[in-house]
Amino acid sequence: GAVVSQHPSWVICKSGTSVKIECRSLDFQATTMFWYRQFPKQSLMLMATSNEGSKATYEQGVEKDKFLINHASLTLSTLTVTSAHPEDSSFYICSASGPFPPYEQYFGPGTRLTVT
């Protein structure tokens, strides 16, 4: 099956700094990528959808200036958490889907962000 990687798997940063998370599709062209946030024992919350070469579409309530998403190629999307604060600490998951139906979403292993 299709493989999606995320890097880093775990990151600690100081309050006020920025951190970048990478999401890569390793063996297929991901025309659409999704970024989710998940709190412990809760469901996935979609943050934004990005299409290759286009600006990301953010879900209501998600600050686009805080969570910068770039999808510059068919295999890479990045999420940058700018001026991170402790409340941004969470588990971030990306998924990717290809250009053909049924547009299956393949998930990365997630990134645990801790802001101190």
Partner 1 sequence: AQTVTQSQPEMSVQEAETVTLSCTYDTSENNYYLFWYKQPPSRQMILVIRQEAYKQQNATENRFSVNFQKAAKSFSLKISDSQLGDTAMYFCAFRAGNNRKLIWGLGTSLAVNP
**Binding region for partner 1 (CB under 8 A):** 32, 34, 38, 41-44, 46, 49, 91, 93, 95, 97, 102-105, 107, 109-110
| Shortest Å distance, C-beta 102 to partner 1 | 6
| Structural tokens at position 102 | 């049924």
Nearer to partner 1, 18 or 103 (CB): 103
> With contact defined as beta carbons under 8 Å apart, do 81 and 113 qualify?
yes
| Structural tokens at position 101 | 């139906």
Burial (CB < 10 A; 0-12, 13-18, 19+), residue 39, is exposed
Nearer to partner 1, 75 or 98 (CB): 98
Nearer to partner 1, 70 or 105 (CB): 105
